[in-house]
Amino acid sequence: MMKYEEQIRAYFDDPAKQRELVAAVCRLVSIRSVRGEAQPGMPFGEGPARALDEALKLCDELGFATKNHDGYVGTAELNDKDTILHILAHMDVVGEGKGWDTDPYGPVEKDGVLYGRGVADDKGPAVAALFAMKCVKDLGIPLNHSARMILGTDEESGSEDIAHYYATEPYAKYTFSPDADFPVINIEKGHYHPDFGSTWAKAEVLPRVTGLKGGFRTNVVPPEAEAVVAGVSAADVEAAARQTAEETGAAFTVEETDGGVHVHCAGKNAHAASPDGGNNAITALLTLLDRLPLAGCGSTAAIKSMHTLFPHGDTRGKALGIAQEDELSGPLTLNLALMTLDETGFSAKFDVRFPICANEDNCKKACEASFAAHGISVTGDGDMTTVHHTDANSPFVRTLLTCYENYTGVKDAKPLAIGGGTYVHDIPGGVAFGCELPGSDPRMHGPNERIPVADLVLSCKIFAQAIAELCG
């Protein structure tokens, strides 16, 4: 048992303390803090500003010295000693969307599970970290340093808040963000998402593809795509569609229109960081179109080239010549996210999450060489970002893992590498640490976002121990 563990467990096992925790989370979740139009003192709109104000009131009530940094972030200080630990959380949320069984901003607890927009991402974890700070303070655990909670308001829309804060404030020796998974995320892959395409003279030959459109966001596996094919019968397309549906698992709808045969493809969306969980409608549609007896012209060449470079199911970039992986960070992943084609050209964009071993030669330049061989050129946004990597054997990561192991009973926990990015991606030495436990499904960004109260309580204990270890 770690020092102070018995006291920390007892502190949060108190039912009254747990009710106080839930009430505090609900208090913040009841504010719709989706980014809006900037106003004076509210750089990200009224909602995030209101949530930040309420969070700072909560921090004041818990006995912490607080400060509002120009409406971008708010801070709460554990004590008046030098700060060695930053804890990054955020008060903004994504829009509620549709499909909720409860009021997304009327948080409720059912059967020990808390529901509402932000209970898991990230108001619940933020309150858990605040209560952990309060626990350390109430128990009188001796500290040599301070921890600072940093409450942001723009994590979901680009993290301008944190960039603003660190433009004038120094980094801390240690930084963690309770806005992802346990046990610890220490590697976040780099991103590469160029715009590319080609142009050609309008042709009149038949059959040909006269238009194509698919995808809606770079970081989402496209669930839908559609095309119009002139000079071909619906019966011919339907035969190819049946074969392609069997091969790809996508669903096709074919109908005659005045402009030609309209083909709609339905796949399955997923986050671009985990493309294997989706079914790419664009690449499935390219598979179908390449199967048709199209005449030689610019659009046909583009369809064939795109199908060659992005065959359906290739989420590793093998055909593009950039597939690679390493033991620490895993494989490169690829999602062909957007594509638009008309009578005189096409443009497209993919989302690659690359591992530590990737570099400009084996990723960017290799991709551009494959494009060039097909007459395709990169038109913009062709730079690679950096991989975020904090050493798994650092005392910081080892301490966090030990705290997690002690309170969960998990043995030999391993840090994680992910394709997504967290609040600490650009912060030296930072890691993501909780609150999502292995096997849980918080439904972040979807309807019925949720988190078990027991998971929040467990997170409080883990965070309190981590604060005690790092600041003691």
SS3 296: coil
Catalytic residue, from 92, 181, 436, 449: name it: 92
92 is catalytic: yes
In sequence order, the 6+-apart residues with CB closer than 8 A to the CB of 68 are 52, 53, 56, 74
C-alpha 119/C-alpha 456 separation (Å) is 10
Which of 155, 181, 290, 469 is catalytic? The answer is 155
| Cα–Cα distance measured from residue 96 to residue 266, given in angstroms and rounded to the nearest whole number | 24
Identify the helix (H) or strand (E) that includes residue 445.
none
Calculate ∠ Cα 361-363-365, nearest 5°.
50
What is the β-pairing status of strands 146-152 and 83-90?
parallel
Q: Which two tokens stand for residue 359?
A: 């570099």
155 in catalytic set: yes
* Positive or negative: CA dihedral 39, 41, 45, 50: negative
Looking at the DSSP bridge assignments, the partners of residue 340 are 213, 347
Report d(CA 294, CA 316) in Å as an integer.
28
Which bin fits 14, alpha (ψ -120 to 50), beta or left (φ > 0)? beta
Read off the tokens for 361.
């030669």
Q: Can you spell out the DSSP letters for 406-417? A: HHH--SS---EE
How far, in Å, CA of 153 to CA of 240, rounded? 49
Residues with catalytic function:
92, 155
